[in-house]
Homo-oligomer: A and B are copies of this chain.
Amino acid sequence: MTADPRLADLTTPSLILDEQKMMRNIVRLADHAEALGVSLRPHLKTAKSVDVARRLLSEGVGPATVSTLAEAEAFFAAGVCDILYAVGIAPQKLPQVLSLRSAGCDLSIILDNAAQAEAVVKASQEASKPIPVLIEIDSDGHRGGLRPDDPLLINIGRILHEGGAALRGVMTHAGESYTVAGKEAHAKFAEIERAAAVDAASTLRGANLPCPVVSVGSTPTAHAARDLSGVTELRAGVYVFFDLVMAGIGVCHQEDIALSVMTTVIGHQDKRGWVMVDAGWMAMSRDKGTVDQALDQGYGVVCDETGKIFPDLILSAANQEHGIITRRSGSMTPMPDLPVGTRLRILPNHACATAAQHSHFNVIPADTASALMTWPRFGGW
């Protein structure tokens, strides 16, 4: 394959997005959610891009999940109006939540403790506007949330429901599913998520509390789930682009990864077997998410300029603006000839972290006759 001439003018390092691969990833999970009979609420924290959101969301309006109120503001301004802010609410952020809601955004929040619930009730009462809340359930000990059998669940449900907030349901995220590989293992975690969320919903309903929404998901469990009885919606985010962490646990193939970082060879240290490039951790992020997987990919897997993978070449070390490419330990393949000036592409360990280092996507359109597109990204809080 020859290099895509549309990439010739890009400076390096640059973030490249393959629209065709992205669209395939989007359709894959949308089809699976439809087959399971649940609504899909994609997480926009990986993309942080209005252009991606337009291609990802039903009619561009949601439902969607975000990880910051800055995302909620930006996506609402672009027409997304059904948004779940899926990080436990800090009481100081409630005025901003109310302001978004007053502007017409159906923004819901999550929490897992009485102090938060009381702050939400107070804010709802003072504004005479019930803030919709999902109670976070801990399905796997990964992070926050209440165990489904925690007596606090009903207490918090009552604080919210009786205090004038809108108890909308429960949500959980099996972050531990990232630590296991293979569809069987992920399907087990999908069932762990489902069971925890459905149990918690039953507990609330048994106490005469409302629980219309039962929300679960992570990229591995969403793809592996076989039965989501009792669940109303599925969340996932990184699947839009995929990455080496997801490939390493078998959720996708490396060829499905839609993101890469274009870089240029700037030198060699032949005695050490090093090829020096101008993509360091500033371009790739410091994420070493594959370090504990069966195959450690360093800071990323190296491809040629067309995206063809060199299976044995990895970015094994990174300084701020320098990367060092080496052959994988134990490789029998010789180092290819990569003279100064050669352009390469690096697949990222973690799409969320790598994309966050860049102000925009350089998008290779599915249509080969179209020009490269620039899709801005945003960050911040």
A interface, CB within 8 angstroms of B:
11-14, 45, 67-69, 87-93, 96, 111-113, 115-116, 119, 138, 141, 143-144, 175, 264-269, 272, 276, 278, 281-283, 285-288, 319-322, 324, 339-341, 352-353, 356-359, 379-381
Contacts and interface: CB of A to CB of B under 8 A. Distances in A.
Contacts of A358: 380
Contacts of A267: 88, 111-113, 116, 144
B341 A92 contact: yes
Contact of A116 (B11, B266, B321, B381): B266
A322 B276 contact: no
Given A88-B276, A352-B320, A341 B144 contact: no
Contacts of A93: 11
Contact of A286 (B12, B13, B353): B353
B381 A119 contact: no
B340 A381 contact: no
Given A144-B269, A264-B90, A267-B112, A381 B341 contact: no
Nearest to A282: B356
A308 to B, nearest CB: 21
A20 B267 CA distance: 41
A330 B89 CA distance: 31
A14, A138, A141, A321 — most chain B CB neighbours (10 Å) = A321
Given A12-B92, A357-B379, 16 more contacts: A11-B381, A12-B90, A45-B321, A87-B266, A87-B278, A90-B264, A90-B265, A90-B340, A92-B341, A111-B267, A113-B267, A143-B322, A144-B266, A281-B353, A286-B286, A320-B352
